[in-house]
Structure 1
Amino acid sequence: MNTAQNSSHVDRFQSSQAARKFYLEHLTELLRDSRLISDSAISAMIGGCGIYFDEMMNKRRQGSFEEEVRGLTSSRISLVGDDDLELDIRLDNLCNRLIESTSVPLWKTHLRFATILGRPDLPKNDNPVGPRGVTQGLHDLFSAAGASSLEKKFELLERIEVSLLTSLPGIYGQLDDFLQSIGVEVTQPPIASVQPPSRTPAAKPEPRLSASPVMPGAGEHPASATHALLSQGALDNLMFRLDQMERGQQNSLDFLTATSPKLETLIPELFGETGSNEETAPLVLQSDALGIPANSLEGQAIDLTGRFFNNLFSDPAIPGVLKETVAKLQVRVARIAVRDRSLYTRADHPCRQLIDRMATLLFGLPPTVPASHPVCRQLIETCDRLRQDNAGDASAFALAAAELEAQIGARHQKIFEAAAPYHPFLRQLDRREQADREIGEYYARLHLDSLPELLRNFLVQDWKRLLERAWFEQGQGGPAWQERTETLNALVWSFRPKADGEQRRALAQKLPGVLQAIKDGMETLGIAAETQTRILDACFELQTRALRPNGSEPPPPVGASVALAEVHQGHGIRQLSIGLLEAGNRALHTIDYQLPPATEGRNPVFSAGEWMEIKVDDVDQQLCLCLQSASTGRCLFFNPETDLALAIHPQLLAEQLKKGSARHLGQPGLFATLLSRISAS
């Protein structure tokens, strides 16, 4: 921007006098509103601030970068008494705190006074309304108030400094608006002015706002001489530009609701599910567009932040409402990146935690979810509160991240409650697995592999249904279970050759009762009469052979594994690897083993509230883990947005996670995921 052209449109003297009057009047109001000091003391302080204003306006010499970074202390080096030196140190400390708390609005006024004076190189310490003038006025206040001792001066200072720290930023903001209203434009000093970091300790500058970030893939240490550092003035101007950019971005995003109630609450029909879901065009951050050298540390921070957000905006899997909400924070994140080197290296940085939790809060929602969704409204409101925070530092992000963490916990609790009706389904699956395991172990001890196929199928499939019914009704200790197993034990015993007459007599006595119990069981099962006859004939043939004195021993069993496998090939939904349990208007998808694995306490343990992406009917579904069974480890997942519930065996889930057919959502977090894409590109 051309300073000469800007300054020609305004009368410098009139503008400076108007600014002087506006500043001193508002400073007077600040002091009177505090009700901490007398009117005479206020007049003395305002007089001192006015003298400082006039001195800076009449000061014509140009400053240097070294003067800027030395700050206040270099201007007050003199031979003074201990009390005066202690007071100067205290006032310098207050001045530094005022500069820090008013950095952006103060810098705006500085750029406008540079226009009034026609001095684009005006040192920041020569700002006529800067905190140095306030501390100079405090000396006059002490004299007017009769504070002769150091203790009384400190007492007065303690009474007024809180009011100054709280209200002075607002005065600078109002002064900036006033100067703009009378036609004073801002001067844009050459922001590309850089200073290479010196290797000599003597040339080390004072602590700065900037802390160089470590860039992924940069290939160089931050202290490398190839990385330039912006001068303090250029850095302040960069922060001013980012602030203006953020303000302009907020105006464009919020112009409909900036001074009025939310339109969603006034006209909800316009923001329903059928409303437009178009995304706002994202802002693009680039160092060259801001006039920042790309090889400077600040330029690298700006470019890395721009690339990070461009990756976020271009990811189709990220919901549009999340993109729009995070877009509002882009400039604020860039400001933190310029100041804080740890943003791109610290996994627990508050800014990173906030973006990760923003993504976590929206897990399970479709990419096209509207902003009117209750969860989205929570996210947007939290983001809006963060944007209203004037500091915008890492602590503000930490508070917002904690707020989101509470919202995530509350949402999980609602999902757990919504999944509670599926708990009986899970208990049913657990009982069926336990029944399968115990019945299978019982059959394995019988060694039925050598029996004819017809008879073996009847025992391991049909008779097993009677055992299951007895198990579910009364368990293994119940009379029905005892009756069914005793009948089966006696039948299998009747097939074995009898070595002596006593055993044959015992068989002859038991046989009618055993066959009648088998006949009754087949009637209960509803087996066809023809099939019953064939089964009884097969039994009679084996028992007749066993009664013969020279009856041969049947072939030795080939092992329990075949019988056990056949037991578990029976009928029923519990045997399916992929199934569905239904009751009323609820349905539970199941993904399970056909054979229950021997866990022996080795089941993987997962945490309630984990979100995973799992294939259900060949479709990737985002589901929240609501419960893991204590007895079998079986996991119950649910997503209220799709009304889909799933039960899956923990070992099977662990296998899918290992193979990649299922995955944890949020591991790694969204921030780290996008950052890794930048490193890989």
Structure 2
Amino acid sequence: MRSRSSSNTSTSNNNQGSLGGISLERKILPQFNSLTQEIRQHLLNFLAQQVRAAFIQADTALFNCAENAENNQVQDMFFESIREVRKQHVQIERAFLKNIANQFDDFIKAKKRPSAADAQIDAQQLSLVQNDEFEESLLVSSMSNKANERCIEALYAIEQRLALINSGIKSDDNSPLTPTVIANGFYTALAPSPFNLQVKTILYMLFEQFVMRELDQFYATINQAFISAGVLPNLSYSASQRKQRLMQAATRTTPNSLSATRTSTERQASNNMQSPERGSGAASAIPSNAIDEQTSLQAETLTALLSTYRQQATSTALPDGVPSITAFTPSNATHKYSSAELLSALASLQQHNAQQAAQGFTMLAVDRSKQALVKQLQDLNSTASPGKLAEQHANTIDLVGMLFNFIIEDASLTQSSKAILSNLHPLYVQVALQDPTLFSQYQHPARKLLNGMAQAGVEYRGASEEKALQHKMQFTVSQALQSYKGDSILFDYLLQDFNVFVHALQRRAELREKRAIEAAKGRDRLLAARQQALALVASTLQKFPVPNIIQDFLEQSWVDVLVFSFLRHGPASQQWQCYAETAQQLAWSATFLALPEEQERLATVNLELFSQLQQGLDLLGSHHPDTIRKLVQELSACQQAVQAQQATPASKSPAQTRQNPLGTMLSNEEELSAPNSTDNLSTQAREITKKLEHINFGTWFEFDSPAATLKLSWFSPTTRNYMFVDSSGQRVAIKPLSTLAMEIEHGQARILTEQRSKPLMDRALHAIQKIFQHFNNHSTA
């Protein structure tokens, strides 16, 4: 738990200890200065990415809370908070990162800050703390405790290694890497903001999800950096140490009864806020062990099929038409390249590709990559005799080559995406040679990264975010080429970074799609109201033929009054019935009434009739009072002329009273009101319409004209039209049910199957296996 009050600590205790009157100032050992700065930068980069992801999600979370609000006042508060968070988030992010940077710099300079124990609020202080502040402190303590307990092993290792580079002095709670310091840094950054506790609670929950829960992987990366620098590489961690650390963690944070208690505000926010799911695709859930076993079996099958193919093949070309790596080495070679020579050549190619990528990404053909590898091997060969590759190495190189050739020929990817991903070819040969589980382990980080980038490239093809995504893909590939040194942990970091970016795209798309749906529903309701109003007026005019001035008024101005009443009160309301009756009375009064009782009835209702007309036009708020008065006078004059059997006057009202404001709102929505009958469809098309009527929202369709891959987002029950959005959530097309059925019937539109959404490597390896099986079976037939 935190308190905003600070405790006074003497300078001597802050900066130094003493031994026999001699001051001992802690300082970083010089040989670790570079490592310390590297860790500092990595910490700030990680926190910047994750806290930005949390604020990106805040829009959706607060919007969900507004939708589920118990009353209008709370709903308005959440909507106002959305605007305020958008204004404040950059300032909060900067303050948070500045807090962490200052903490790190103070740690390096041996400036001690008050620890969590120093900042605790005791029982006597609780009465002085506001309830909101106390609950906020509990939220911070709770997320810190959970992260401390979850990451206790990694934190122990970090503490021991920090002690080593700090002249043997343990950092305890003042380490800038601890969950407590990170959580408190956000707490301090959020303190000056104007948000109430409800909004702050939501922000804390998002911070916990996107920052605190991601610390496990971050700490693994930090410990690996220490190990690579030779700082306690063989450090072990025992069960007794774990028990001791847990007890220490429990005593220096808030009591368990408090930290384990979920505050009422947190529970309420959790109920209101739909828990944000991490994006699918690149951030998919971990599959079961059965999938890993199936993947491992597939890898063994591929190796066996390739060996069989080599024995039966009459040429050095592989089934996909690309030459095998053996085609580029002399058949009579006696020297066999070692694994070290092969990896050294691949590392050189990797650096060359990194330099080329820095200038721009071009397509790297598989055969050209193989030629470059053989040439590099020859250049590094210390013997005079030509060399060849071991069969096991050749098989691995050819399988990776077929994988990247599949990427280059995949029709679902754009040329730009193919060019970016093709540059990873030599790097992935290295990965496969050093770690064969690339093919057999479904959750291999390098495999997941390639799948994630390819899937994102397919999903955002042609969308407004495609350019930004490709810049991110270029950055990710460049980082992989520049930084890979044989350790797959790099791919974990790159995957996490890429997933945060894709997650942000997905959330923006979801918000955009939601707004498109709400707008479509609004237009649909307006259209339904307008159709009912027009039908009522048409029925009235059919019953009572009236002069043009009355007809124009009813079809234009009075239709808007009926629509407005429909939208505000509903078709069963007293208001709607009143305005519908007014339309009928006006039409009746504009026909010649020959009977005395009809004339008597007209005189009785006339005053109320014109009063209702004026009130209805006033309700619209689109006409000036003088204009309304003149129009009502025109209608009265027309009525009198009809009853006197005189010529009816022409309309003298301004053009603005004859316009139809609500109809104008639908002027660009002709497709929504177009006839949508299935009567003239073929038998096959009618069967398709029955299936389409039950299809799930979120289903992806592929269209030929214009070429696009779009998601079914909404169906209008009024018009039976389907609305489609692209990957960015932007509304792209409206398709009547009959039109969509005919396009599917004629092959101009297709529902995308699950097979198309499978990860790229799964599709590629499955296709390669099928090719080998076909050729091997054909050869033995």
Q: Same fold (TM over 0.5)?
A: no
Question: What is the TM-score of this pair, normalised by structure 2?
Answer: 0.36
Q: Could you say which structure has the larger radius of gyration?
A: 1
Larger helix percent: 2
